[in-house]
Amino acid sequence: MKYKIGNIKKTEYKEVVDIWEASVRATHHFLKEEDIQYFKPLILNIYLDAVELKCVKNEEGQITGFLGVADQNLEMLFIHPDYRGKQIGKILLNYSIEKMNVKKVDVNEQNEQAVGFYKKCGFETKSRSELDSSGKPYPTLHMVLKN
């Protein structure tokens, strides 16, 4: 299947948040329900506007995965659970590195699949924070792209 990367319109933010939530529920088993409910409006109302967004859509025009980049940092990369394992994450990550100059990513240490994915794609851990960027007790790895 050939995937095309495109922009995300503000009118698609609700769809993006739904993908974020489905992805988080499938991969972030360490998060509490109240954390998901805490982040959901922040993503919709603040975080999506703070990054450059790109997505991959299926044949029906539905978003299957998306990323957000700011200051050479991959701030978000989420794939709908139905589309995991279909290379969408790798395609989006490679695009962010080649076209958006991504050099760094922060990833929840407890999201072992994501940590493994980024290591496999050439990132290495530079430092670690005990708390996430919201001050919640979810250790975060600060990873950088190896030269």
* Percent over 70 (pLDDT), the chain: 99
Tell me what the mean pLDDT of segment 128-134 comes to. 93
pLDDT tens digits along 12-26: 999 999 999 999 999
pLDDT of 4 higher than 90:
no
Helix (H, G, I), strand (E, B) or coil at 8: coil
In this predicted structure, what is the pLDDT of residue 1?
Answer: 62
DSSP state of 126: E
Alpha carbon 142 to its chain's center: 14
pLDDT tens digits along 47-59: 999 999 999 999 8
In this predicted structure, what is the pLDDT of residue 147?
Answer: 76
Do residues 47 and 95 touch, judged by C-beta distance below 8 A?
no
d(CA 133, CA 146): 23
pLDDT tens digits along 72-86: 999 999 999 999 999
Tell me what the mean pLDDT of segment 114-134 comes to. 96
